Structures are given as structure tokens and as C-alpha cells.
Structure 1
Amino acid sequence: MKALNERDIRGSFINCSKGEAKRLALPRDLAERPWENLDFLGWRDHTAHERAYLVAEGEEGPVGVALRIVPARDGFRPTLCSLCLTTHRGEGVTLMSAPKAGKAGREGNTIGLRMCSDFACSLYIRGLREPGPGGGRIVESLTVEEQAARARENLAGFLERLRS
């Protein structure tokens, strides 16, 4: 992924107002992110635990979405991330809910996605981070690049559903 700056990030959001995008808490470590190994940028809001944000590369530039973290209810059962297919126990996979873009979102319509709560999908795929105890990666015949492409495709589908 191409490194993003504050302006790129704040201007990318499709499901919140410009004012909300201007006020959201950005990650404190943008300069230290391993951009060359990321398929998207995701972070939890350090000022409000229930909020998170995600920015992915789109055909016409970065596409950002504001997310709400839905509290886990089945903490001991392993859960599978919809993007990278990594399993985690506890709160390692979280249901993220996002308001749809435009009028549908203002009317309260949302889309949900189960994903790694630490937004490290790209690092799990590349073997640069290991899931916690009780978690793991599915052994498959796809190459790392094919797995990364699938995660980007899964994310693109989610973003497209938010737009429509």
C-alpha cells in the first residue's frame, strides 16, 4: 500500500461528514507503519474504544470508512476473520459495523464485517505476526500474494456494499 498522510486519510471517508472526518483521531504512528506490507490501513480510535477506521486503496484514490466495534458475545470460541481467514480466540476477531454511504447511512442502514480487531490481516497473511493463543492460519495452497489479493478483494466487496 502507498503511504498515506493526514490529508489523504481525512479526505477519503465515504460514510461520515467532512466535519467528522476532520475531528477523528488518527493513528499516532503513521510514519512507522510497515506500508510496503499493508493491504489497508486500519486503527482503533484511542479516544473512543467503540470506534475504528479503515482506509484502503481504491481505483480513484484512498477509500476510508468509519466503523463501530460491536462487543463480542462468544469470547472463548475461535472466530474467523472475513478478510484474511485467520482465526482468533477471545476478542481477536470483532464484528465491525459501518453506516452505509449517503442517504441510506443517514437513515441508519449499516453493513457488518467480522475482522481481526487489531487490523493486522496483512501481517498475518505474510507471516509477519502470529495470532494469539488458540488462533491460527488456515493452511492453503494459495501463495501469499494470492491470499493478499483475496483479502483486498473481500475488502473491496465490503466497501462496494457500503457505497450501494
Structure 2
Amino acid sequence: MRALTEADIRASFVNADEDELRVMEMPHDLLLIDWDYLDFFAWRDPGAGRRGYVLTQHEGRVVGVVLRASDPGRHRSGMCNICHTLQPGNQVALFSARRVGEAGARGDSVGTYMCADLSCHENVRLAHPLAPNEVLAPGQVDLRLDGTRRRMEGFAKRVQEEH
């Protein structure tokens, strides 16, 4: 991703109203972010526990999406639909996002299960432990990175579709 200022970030949101943009808290480490390393950027709002945000590339521009989180599960494990990482149940939550335009005004939303702390970008980069007879195929990590990016872009695209 290209480097973004706070003004760039606030201007990128497609499903936020003025009040949501006004109360949005930026991540504490915004000035330290290595934008060249990111395929997308997501964070939980430090001031509002159930709110999260994701910035991703879509059709050549940065698209921001406001997310609302459900309470994470408690007992079972779950899989993040973005990074395909299996997590304990309390580390996966259903995130929903209001659609844009008339659909969003009617209350339509889309949702998917994501890592509760929105750390999909980091989780997909963690190396899986290999069994003694296992060999890492060339490009395997790159496929996981590409798939994670595509799934997040697809989620942002679904938010922008009006039905």
C-alpha cells in the first residue's frame, strides 16, 4: 500500500457517516507503520471496543470500511475467513459492515468471520511449524499472502455493491 496520512485514511471510508469519522481513533502506532509491507491495513478502534476499520486497495484506490464486531465465541475454535487461520473461539469474531448507498440506508450489511484483533495481515505471515518430513513448497507463503489480500479486497467490494 502507499503511505497514507490521517486525512487520506478518513477520506477513504465508503460506508462511514460524518459522526463515525469524527469519533474514529487512529491506531497509536500510525506514524510507525511500514506501508510498503502492507497488503491491507486493519485496526480496532482503541476508544470503541466493537468498532474496527480496514483499508484495502480496490480498483486502484484505497477503500476504507467501518466494521462492527460481535462478541467472540467462547468454546470452539474458529477459522478466519480472511487469512484462513484456525484460532481459539475467543479470537475469531463476526464482523459486519454497512453497505454503501441506499442499501446501507435500509440497514443492509455484509459480514464475515475475522481474527478478533484484525491481525490477519500478521497472522498469515507467521510460519507454520513443519513436521520432520514436511518440505515447504516454493511460493507457498506468497499464495497465502495473495489469498488473504484477495479475500479482504472481495469483502470491501461486497460492501460497495448496492442491492
Q: TM-score, normalised by structure 1?
A: 0.84
Query: Alpha-carbon deviation of 1:19?
Result: 4.6
Task: Decide whether the 8 Å contact of 1:97 with 1:113 is kept in 2.
Answer: yes
In structure 2, give the amino acid aligned to 1:20: E
Residues 9, 43 of structure 1: alpha-carbon distance in 2 compared, 3 angstrom cutoff? same
The equivalent residue for 1:4 is: 4
3-state DSSP of counterpart to 1:91 = helix
The equivalent residue for 2:157 is: 160
Query: Alpha-carbon deviation of 1:113?
Result: 1.0
The equivalent residue for 1:80 is: 79
The equivalent residue for 1:120 is: 119
Task: Decide whether the 8 Å contact of 1:38 with 1:123 is kept in 2.
Answer: no
Residues 102, 35 of structure 1: alpha-carbon distance in 2 compared, 3 angstrom cutoff? same
Query: Alpha-carbon deviation of 1:20?
Result: 2.7
Q: Distance in 2 between matches of 1:86 and 1:33?
A: 23
3-state DSSP of counterpart to 1:158 = helix
The equivalent residue for 2:131 is: none
Query: Alpha-carbon deviation of 1:155?
Result: 1.2
Task: Decide whether the 8 Å contact of 2:58 with 2:156 is kept in 1.
Answer: no
Q: Distance in 1 between matches of 2:42 and 2:58?
A: 15
Q: How many residue pairs are counted as aligned between the two chains?
A: 154
Task: Decide whether the 8 Å contact of 1:37 with 1:122 is kept in 2.
Answer: no
1:1-164 pair list within 5 angstroms: 1-72=1-72, 74-127=73-126, 143-164=140-161
Query: Alpha-carbon deviation of 1:90?
Result: 3.3
Q: Distance in 2 between matches of 1:37 and 1:153?
A: 16
Query: Alpha-carbon deviation of 1:69?
Result: 0.6
Task: Decide whether the 8 Å contact of 1:80 with 1:93 is kept in 2.
Answer: yes
Q: Distance in 2 between matches of 1:155 and 1:11?
A: 19
Q: Distance in 2 between matches of 1:123 and 1:47?
A: 22
Q: Distance in 2 between matches of 1:160 and 1:29?
A: 27
Residues 33, 118 of structure 1: alpha-carbon distance in 2 compared, 3 angstrom cutoff? farther
Greater Cα offset, 52-61 or 94-103: 52-61
**Who wins on radius of gyration, i.e. which is larger?**
2
Runs of 4+ in 1 over 4 A off after TM superposition: 139-142
In structure 2, give the amino acid aligned to 1:157: G
Q: Once superposed, what is the RMSD of the aligned Cα atoms?
A: 2.1
